[in-house]
Structures are given as C-alpha cells and as structure tokens.
Structure 1
Amino acid sequence: MEQRQNTRTQKTRERLRAAAHQLFLQQGYQGTSIEGILAEAGISSKETFYRHYANKEALFVDVLRHLTMEMPSFSEKLETLPPAHDLASLRQVLATLAYEILTIISQPGYLPLLRMIITEMPRFPQLGTLFFSTVTQRGISIITAQLEAAKAQEIIADIDVDAVAYTLLGGLLTYVVMHRLLAGEEAQNSSSDHANAIIEVIMCSLRP
C-alpha cells in the first residue's frame, strides 16, 4: 500500500514538473501560473499542487534539479567515482566530472531553460539566484570536494581550490553558452574533447 502511494506521488510530481518545464519555455517564468501548470498536467485540484510544492518557485527549483545535478545517470557516476590517489587518477576523476557536467548542460531541455532565465532575469532577478544555488553551487561543491581531498593528500599544489573549481565549471558553461546558446551550433560529439582540453589546462595549475 505504501509503495503504491509513493509511486502515485512520484508520478504526480513528474506530471507537474513536465508541465511546468513546458510552460516555462513557452510563456516564461512570470507568464506561467499555477493554474496553467495544473491544466497542462491534467490535474484539477490546487490542493494537489500544494501537497507537492510550496509555491511556483519550489517547482522551478525542482525542474532545474531534475535537468542537472539530480539526473540519475549523473548521480550514479558520482557514486562510482574512485578516490584519487595521484595526479593521473585525479585527472581521470576531473575529466569524468567535466564530461558529465558538459553533457548535462548541453542537453536540449537545458539550453532553452537557460535562455529563458537569461531573458527574464532583468524583470525577475531571483531566477539567477535560484539557478546559482541549485545548479552552479552544487557543481562547484562537487569539484571542490575532489580538489580538497587531493590537497589533503598533497597530490596537488597548495592552491585556492575554489578558484580552480570556478575556472573549471566556468570554462564548461562558457563553451556551451558561446557555441550552442549564442552561436546556435547543434550538439556534436565534441564534449569529450572539449572536457579533456579544459582539464589539461586545469592540471597544469595543480601540479606541485
């Protein structure tokens, strides 16, 4: 009985999340109402919405998480990453993280949402804050944790790991924004090559 209820709850959240994502892209954040989300999801009761989300902002955060750091494939990769024990293994860990992050932010469902956030930020600055806390900060903390562990083992030089983490994530985001969001290039099989190129630059700063 409990398992059936959990399944029903999960499916309802998925319907609300999918409906919200679609409407955010079509109408923007401010133009999307809770009533519209319910109608798109085929749900008639507002009480159902509020059982799952405190407000539209909470649902927007859930959409961001689902598209990025909480994707099952990414979570599985994090769980299976071996601890680094030397520079070579650290490079492999960082390259894996860079490739996975680049793959996430290059997916079709992510880029239009990022474009919407950039467009609406002047009218709704909180969107930027939500994006930063939900996506950027999470990515930084994952990279920083790996670098801190390597620093504690004296695998890398005594450097500012936050600066390195921001440089790595910033390089990935800049690539996607410039080449795919602004220039409109189609996704190509170059993610691995670009991730490796960024990691090579990063590793030069990490060597003791």
Structure 2
Amino acid sequence: MAGGRPRSFDDDVALDRALEVFWRQGYEGTAISDLLKAMGINNAPSLYNAFGNKEQLFVKVLDRYADGPARYIREAFDQPTARAAVSALLHGAADATTEPDHPRGCITVQGGLACSPPAEPARDELTARRAAGEAALRQRLQAARADGEIPADADADGLARYFTTVYQGIAVQAGGGATRDQLHGIVDIAMTVWPS
C-alpha cells in the first residue's frame, strides 16, 4: 500500500518560519493560523502530523533557536577560562539580540513571561531552559573557584545569578530598542565586578 502524499513544505524552512513567528509574538500571542500562514502549511492536521501540537512545535522551535541564533551560548562555554566564557556569553547576547535579520531580544527570555493557565507548559519550558543556563554558569564559576581562577571566597552562586540577570536584561533592553553599542557598554560595565 502506498504512503500518504509527500509533504508540500520543507521541515527546516517551516521550523525557521515558526521560530520567527514565536520570537516576534511570543507563545501565547501566536495562533495556529499565524503558524500555518508563515510556515506555508495548508491546514492544521498537516502541521500536527509534521510537528505535533503547538506546545510540541514550540519545543522544537526552542531547540532550533539553541542550535541557530543562540549557538553563541555553547561557543561561549568552550572558552578556556570562566572570565572569557562569561564575557563571550554577554557580548554574544548583545550581538544576537540586535541581529538585524531576526526579531530583537531573545525568545527564551521574552517568549512566555506572561501566560494564561493554558499556556503554562510553554512558560515552564522557558523557565526550565533559563534555569539550566544559570546552573551551567554556576558550575563553570564553581570550577573556576576550585581551580584558583577566581578567589576561594568568591560567591559563585551570586555571580551566576548576577551574570544571568545581566544576560536576560540584555535581551529585554534589546527588545526595547537599545543599540548594540549600548549593550556592549553594559557588558563592559558588568564585567568590572569580576572577582580578582
């Protein structure tokens, strides 16, 4: 027996378009009709067959974001020192959140801050991803303290919270229209608290 009709859309292109819509409008502000139009998919059943429901599609989009526009995060953690990693993370955020080819800001920061009860799973997914980022930064700073890169009495937990707050603030400021140069200036100021 022959299979169904082949898809009339490219999965990668469709995911990129869905990312753009969610990034601009947030999870709750995005309707299935918005996604269908942007992704070039004719009907909701085709969307669901290819990507699952809206929440499942959103998770796929967040993974695509992490591998694409936000890959600078992984690259930052590859830096040889914790200081270089934090600097690369924050400067990378300043660049990525002001990239002219994408919506301003960061989908994981802005995508679901305010949600109604039905959208809580999306908000929880974003919260978990932000928490995982802070935990990774905390581990890097704890290792730096253990290795003597930062003083033994440095507050790795407090530094992780501080730099995470700056990182998320960059996204909010970018979404509000701050320029790339302004954001890099904020990073330079933030890095002055680095323990020595």
Instruction: Output the CA distance in 1 between the equivalents of 2:146 and 2:163.
Output: 20
2: CA distance, partners of 1:198 / 1:58: 36
Q: 1:62 to 1:163 in 2, by over 3 A?
A: farther
Q: Percent identity?
A: 19
Q: Structure 1 length as normaliser, TM-score?
A: 0.66
Aligned residues: 183
Structure 2 CA distance, aligned partners of 1:176 and 1:26?
Answer: 15
Residue in 2 that maps onto 1:133 = 128
Q: In the alignment, is residue 174 of structure 1 matched against residue 173 of structure 2?
A: no
Indicate yes or no: 2:149 matched with 1:155.
Answer: yes
1:129, 1:47 → 2: CA distance? 26
**Alpha carbons 2:13, 2:39 under 8 Å: kept:** no
Letter paired with 1:15:
A
Which structure shows the higher helix fraction? 1
1:49 and 2:43 correspond? no
Is the counterpart of residue 96 in structure 1 residue 93 in structure 2? Answer: no
**Aligned mates of 1:75, 1:121 — CA distance in 2:** 26
Task: Give structure 2 stretches of 5+ with no counterpart.
Answer: 1-6
Q: CA RMSD in A?
A: 3.5
What displacement does 1:129 show? 1.5
Measure the CA separation in 1 of the matches of 2:37 and 2:85.
44
Inter-CA distance 190–51: structure 2 relative to 1 (3 Å threshold)? same
Gaps of 5+ in 1: 1-7, 85-89
Distance in 1 between the 2:19 and 2:137 partners?
A: 30
Equivalent position of 2:67 in the other structure: 70
Contact kept in structure 2, 1:99 and 1:192, CA below 8 Å? yes
Distance 1:60 1:190, change over 3 A: same
